[in-house]
């Protein structure tokens, strides 16, 4: 490629910019309000092109609206080979214009754009667009893309990225939405004037009666359904498009509307986030009891969505969707589509939901169930002391329950000093001894509980480390307790 090729591309873009400005100047102020600011080629605007020539020609066009830079500045980076594009762009991101602070709306994702003394830069906004660009280049090895527009996406809060097969000389103003946006602005303005209404942006939207849903993904990843095997094509290239979470399968939970999708997202209609976390964790905990590995969900991992009350969203994607912090280490389908995850058949999921609904009515049992889920989460993260303590809470509740039953049926039960004791105030070690002496604990159980009570005391009072085997053994014991409690509930 010669310098004249690059200059030819710049000239083509300058003509598109100038033509847009001429058309834009012919619009009145009312009409101009109907063009998205990201699509404007008005002053100031800048264009930077990332150009890949070999083996297949692609370009990524970045449209800026940076008031601190020269208007109509056009930079062409490349041409590059596909094999070198990654390292080349990494170096480009170190250039001053890319390290400038980006004008990002702070609460877009409920996070601050700056972290500590680190400013949120244009390069921080660009990585997703560049990742998409690489994906299109990779897909071109299997698909034959015609010359011209391929895709576009919002870049930051006020800029835009476009992907093209070929180069900018192969595109028309229509492919940058310039002509169409001008024409659409005229049509929308005319329609509003005909109806004698004010500009939409000046009219407060009527309050809609909305259902609020909170949800979370199963972690570790699961696939829910009877036919979840991916085709070879899907494993290689992923889903045909980015698959947003969906209200795919419906259920009810104590008269609340609930949904889940094939990628393991569970949503529940709820008034508060705290309430929904408790319900979702109950569902995950029953999954654990049923033999499906599951961890507890944290507030930072919660998905939030809304749907109109007068519509059943079943089968629709989550129209209003947000996820705090970022795409956490959950089960988002674009990351997990190729993984052969644990499968939960639809009848198994129905059993989990019905059983969790029943257990949720028993507040004490549900609390113990959540303790078990917390313990498993800590255990699998090598946090053995925390896992141990959560399991010991289950054991103490179990021992206290057995002791209350024994005390209520036997008035002669006495404590260490020969006096009848309040069951709730008796020390756990004394409860175990009395249960053992009355035949309510066998030798093996008593020996195990005595040993593990000492380990608990050594940790709490002396800081003695809980080992992995200690935590695992107590977890297995606590798991049996909960399984027996749920089995009794089912009878």
If the chain, 491 residues long, is cut into consecutive pieces of 10 residues, what is the mean pLDDT of each piece? 82 91 90 83 93 93 93 95 93 94 59 57 88 90 83 84 89 67 82 64 60 89 82 57 68 92 88 91 97 92 80 66 38 45 91 96 96 97 96 96 83 55 77 92 95 96 95 97 92 71
pLDDT value of position 399 = 95
The sheet that has 73-81: what strands, in order across it?
73-81, 46-54, 58-64, 159-165, 148-155
Domains along the chain?
Answer: 3-202 (no CATH), 210-361 (no CATH), 366-490 (1.20.120)
Put the strands of the sheet holding 320-323 in their side by side order. Answer: 249-253, 256-260, 265-269, 210-217, 303-308, 320-323
Name the DSSP letter for residue 314.
T
Distance CA 193, CA 187 (A): 10
54 closest CA partner among 84, 81, 90, 93: 81
The SS3 call for residue 259 is: strand
Q: How many alpha carbons lie under 13 Å from residue 310 in its C-beta half-sphere?
A: 2
In total, the chain counts a number of residues equal to 491
pLDDT at residue 234, rounded to an integer: 59
- Contact in structure between 371 and 359 (CB atoms under 8 Å): no
Q: pLDDT value at position 361?
A: 94
Whether the ω angle into residue 181 lies within 30 degrees of 0, i.e. cis, is no
**Which residue bears the tokens 């000492």?**
454
Q: Residue 57: its pLDDT value, please?
A: 94
The pLDDT of residue 340 is 53
- Phi, psi dihedral angles at 241 (to 5 degrees): -150, 170
Write down the pLDDT at residue 110: 44
Angle between helices 384-409 and 428-437 (to 10 degrees): 50
Distance between CA atoms of 333 and 146, rounded to whole angstroms? 28
- Judged on CB neighbours under 10 Å (0-12, 13-18, 19+), 484 is exposed
- H/E segment holding residue 216: strand 210-217
């Amino acid at each position: 490629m010669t310098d004249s090729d690059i200059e030819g591309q710049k000239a083509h873009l300058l003509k598109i910019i100038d033509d847009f400005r001429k058309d834009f100047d012919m619009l009145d102020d009312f009409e101009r309000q109907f063009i998205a600011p990201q699509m404007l080629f008005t002053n100031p605007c800048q264009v930077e092109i990332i150009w890949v020539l070999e083996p297949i020609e692609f370009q990524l066009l970045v449209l800026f609206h940076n008031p601190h830079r020269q208007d109509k500045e056009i930079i062409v980076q490349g041409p590059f080979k596909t094999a070198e594009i990654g390292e080349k762009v990494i170096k480009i991101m170190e250039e001053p214009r890319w390290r400038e602070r980006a004008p990002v709306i702070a609460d877009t994702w409920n996070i601050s754009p700056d972290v500590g003394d680190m400013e949120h830069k244009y390069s921080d906004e660009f990585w997703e667009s560049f990742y998409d660009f690489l994906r299109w280049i990779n897909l071109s090895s299997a698909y034959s893309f015609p010359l011209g527009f391929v895709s576009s996406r919002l870049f930051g809060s006020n800029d835009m990225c476009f992907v093209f097969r070929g180069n900018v000389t192969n595109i028309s103003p229509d492919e940058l939405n310039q002509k169409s946006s001008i024409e659409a602005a005229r049509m929308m303005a005319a329609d509003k004037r005909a109806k004698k209404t004010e500009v939409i942006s000046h009219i407060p939207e009527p309050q809609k009666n909305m259902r609020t849903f909170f949800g979370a993904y199963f972690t570790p990843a699961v696939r829910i359904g009877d036919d979840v095997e991916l085709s070879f094509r899907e494993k290689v290239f992923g889903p045909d498009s980015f698959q947003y979470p969906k209200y795919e399968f419906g259920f009810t939970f104590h008269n609340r509307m609930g949904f889940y999708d094939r990628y393991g997202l569970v949503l529940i209609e709820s008034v508060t986030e705290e309430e929904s976390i408790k319900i979702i964790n109950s569902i995950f905990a029953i999954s654990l009891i049923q033999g499906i590995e599951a961890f507890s969900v944290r507030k930072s991992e919660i998905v939030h969505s809304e749907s109109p009350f007068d519509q059943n969203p079943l089968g629709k994607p989550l129209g209003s969707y947000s996820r705090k912090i970022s795409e956490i280490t959950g089960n988002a389908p674009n990351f997990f589509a190729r993984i052969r995850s644990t499968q939960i058949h639809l009848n198994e999921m129905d059993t989990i939901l019905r059983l969790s609904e029943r257990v949720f009515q028993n507040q004490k049992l549900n609390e113990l169930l959540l303790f078990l889920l917390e313990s498993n989460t800590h255990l699998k993260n090598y946090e053995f002391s925390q896992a141990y303590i959560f399991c010991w809470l289950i054991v103490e509740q179990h021992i206290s329950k057995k002791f209350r039953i024994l005390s209520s049926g036997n008035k002669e039960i006495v404590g260490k000093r020969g006096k009848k004791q309040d069951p709730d105030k008796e020390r756990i070690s004394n409860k175990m001894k009395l249960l053992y002496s009355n035949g309510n604990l066998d030798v093996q159980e008593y020996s195990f509980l005595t040993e593990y009570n000492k380990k608990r005391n050594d940790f709490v009072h002396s800081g003695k480390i809980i080992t992995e085997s200690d935590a695992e053994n107590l977890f297995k014991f606590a798991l049996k307790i909960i399984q027996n409690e749920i089995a009794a509930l089912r009878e």
